[in-house]
Amino acid sequence: MKKNLIFLTLLITLALTFSSCINREKSNDEDNLVTSEVTFDYSGTLSGSFSSDSVYVAVDDLGASGLWILSVNSVQSLPQVYNFGFTAIGIDFPGCLNIDQTNIYGQSYFDAGNNQLFLSSVNEAGGNITVEEFIEQEYIAGSFAFTLIDSASQDTLYIINGLFHAAIDSSLYITP
């Protein structure tokens, strides 16, 4: 069941990433260039900081006022390749979504390589995603914190001080 849920979440994330609502790092507006960035600190089994301007943000309307799908994925390539992302389905903008292993509407992952995949869908894992600023078709920003667990080893990773911000390319945005 959990593998199906993880697969479904990753499938939704990929679908949003390759749909027409993708933001690819910078706005096309020459006067208002905003770079995208995801940053956070992590501790537990691994420790360090993550900072990436290689960020893919997908935003889509669920057809109901105030309910959106948000997917943020990023890659840090130095000192080694790390992948991080989260998806929130049915989040308000601005607003907050708490996630844990029972919430199918939100997921987070941190792929540390070396067969270490930390997930929010494992027992005692979870966290929250908060959208603090949203200008439709222009900009989104917020914060996050997670406790993620490697399902194979049961190792724990704590993600704190998480921030994201991204320009939304209006030419690629799905108008609700």
Mean pLDDT calculated for residue range 79-95: 84
Winning range, highest mean pLDDT, from 44-48, 77-81, 96-100? 44-48
Mean pLDDT of the chain: 75
Does 144 have pLDDT greater than 90?
yes
Read off φ and ψ for residue 18, nearest 5 degrees: -100, 5
Give the whole-angstrom CA distance, residue 85 versus residue 57.
Answer: 10
The residue written with tokens 């105030």 in the block is 66
Asked if residue 118 lies in contact with residue 112, where contact means CB atoms within 8 angstroms, the answer is yes
pLDDT digits (tens, 9 = 90+) for 7-50: 434 434 433 333 333 333 333 444 445 678 999 999 999 999 99
* Predicted confidence band of residue 66 (pLDDT cuts 50, 70, 90): low
What gap in Å lies between CA 115 and CA 124, rounded to an integer?
20
At 104, the pLDDT band (50, 70, 90 cuts) reads low
CB 101 within 8 A of CB 126: yes
Helices (H), 121-162: none
What is the C-alpha R_g of the chain?
Answer: 15
Read off the pLDDT of each residue in 48-68 and give the average, rounded to a whole number.
Answer: 79
Among residues 155, 96, 98, 91, the alpha carbon closest in space to that of 122 is found at 155
The predicted model gives 74-83 an average pLDDT of 85
Residue 132, token pair as written in the block: 């603090």
φ, ψ of residue 83 to 5 degrees: the values are -115, 135
Structure tokens at 85: 């992302």
In terms of Cα–Cα distance, which of 110, 33, 124, 125 is closest to 72? 110
The pTM (predicted TM-score) of the whole model is 0.75
154: left (phi over 0), alpha (psi -120 to 50) or beta: left
Q: Is the pLDDT of residue 58 over 50?
A: yes
Lowest average pLDDT, out of 16-25, 55-64, 66-75, goes to 16-25
Q: How confident is the model at residue 121 (pLDDT cuts 50, 70, 90)?
A: confident
